[in-house]
Amino acid sequence: MPDKQRDDSKLERVIRKIKRCLALSKSSNENEAATAMRQAQSLMREYRLTEMDVRLSDVGEVESDKVRASRRPTWDRHLSSIVAQAFGVKSLSRKHWCNSSARVVNRAMFVGVTPAPQIALYAYETLLTKLTLARREYVSQVRAGKQRSSYSPATAGDHFALAWVSAVHEKIHDLVPRGEEDPALVHHSSGCDLVAVEAKDKALIEQYLAGWEISKARKVREVELDMNAQIAGLLAGQRVELNPGLATGGQDPLQIGIAV
């Protein structure tokens, strides 16, 4: 194993140990808590780690397997954006060379505190599959004359997809459990606690992304949308049902079933 990999592996073990000590430092047993805190501080001094270094180890990134040869369409980017917002992560588009396909591809990426990025990716890819199929069906109906549009079938399909995303926006937000809405946490948490956690996660994500070259989002040109496509997209989106499962012991990611 190369030295760098060996060093990284050792550092990961040290950080895990520090996290365990920090968790024990919150023990109701004062002696145990004090001992754990001293051990955590000792390890941090020995390896020259700050609290921010330890917290940043919880931040990670995941990429979608679904790629496009050109820029992701607006409705695709809107979908990843509202999913990211709901799960408290950052949504980005990554453009890079793909060796397997020998071309430049564009894909969605989520950055956040684990396991939120993995959950967001799962929700995004599941919804994207449903939306892609719904848009394809609508485009075929426009081509066949079953749906009226003054735009090309593809453009009408884009307008349909934008409305579909708008319709599921609130449903995705409602899907995510909020601390103050959980009866088991009512006496132990508050809206202020939730805001503090979200602010802390946001700060960690910004710190993680510091130094990244992130292009500014292009200004979206205002266009007049096809009213028929919008209505069809809203109705189709409203029929989507999001069924959250239960996390298992806080270890398994939230499972999302989507039915239309």
**Is residue 259 very low, low, confident or very high in pLDDT (cuts 50, 70, 90)?**
low
**Is residue 218 very low, low, confident or very high in pLDDT (cuts 50, 70, 90)?**
low
Within this chain, do residues 143 and 39 fall inside the same structural domain, yes or no? no
The identity of residue 253, as a single letter, is P
Q: pTM for the complete prediction?
A: 0.76
Within this chain, do residues 42 and 67 fall inside the same structural domain, yes or no? no
pLDDT for residue 201 = 86
Find tokens 């979908």 and name the residue: 79
Within this chain, do residues 32 and 77 fall inside the same structural domain, yes or no? no
**pLDDT digits 0-9 by tens, 110-167:** 999 988 999 899 999 999 999 999 999 999 999 999 999 989 999 999 999 999 999 9
Question: Rounded to an integer, what distance in angstroms lies between the CA atom of residue 91 and that of residue 162?
Answer: 17
Q: How many domains does the chain have?
A: 2
The percent of residues above 70 in pLDDT, for the chain, comes to 79
Within this chain, do residues 99 and 219 fall inside the same structural domain, yes or no? yes
Q: Which positions ≥6 away from 180 have C-beta within 8 Å?
A: 186, 189, 190, 191, 193, 194
Within this chain, do residues 69 and 38 fall inside the same structural domain, yes or no? no
Within this chain, do residues 40 and 140 fall inside the same structural domain, yes or no? no
Within this chain, do residues 51 and 82 fall inside the same structural domain, yes or no? no
Give the mean pLDDT of the chain: 81
Single out the residue in 56, 76, 93 at which a domain terminates: 56
Single out the residue in 18, 33, 56 at which a domain terminates: 56
The identity of residue 56, as a single letter, is L
**pLDDT digits 0-9 by tens, 157-204:** 999 999 999 999 988 887 776 554 444 443 344 556 656 667 888 888
> Residue 11 sits in which domain range?
3-56
**pLDDT digits 0-9 by tens, 238-248:** 998 887 642 22
Within this chain, do residues 95 and 138 fall inside the same structural domain, yes or no? yes
- Point out which residues pair with 213 in neighbouring strands: none
Within this chain, do residues 106 and 166 fall inside the same structural domain, yes or no? yes
Within this chain, do residues 75 and 45 fall inside the same structural domain, yes or no? no
pLDDT for residue 241 = 85
Please say whether the beta carbons of 40 and 84 come within 8 A. no
Within this chain, do residues 182 and 197 fall inside the same structural domain, yes or no? yes
Single out the residue in 56, 74, 94 at which a domain terminates: 56
Within this chain, do residues 21 and 148 fall inside the same structural domain, yes or no? no
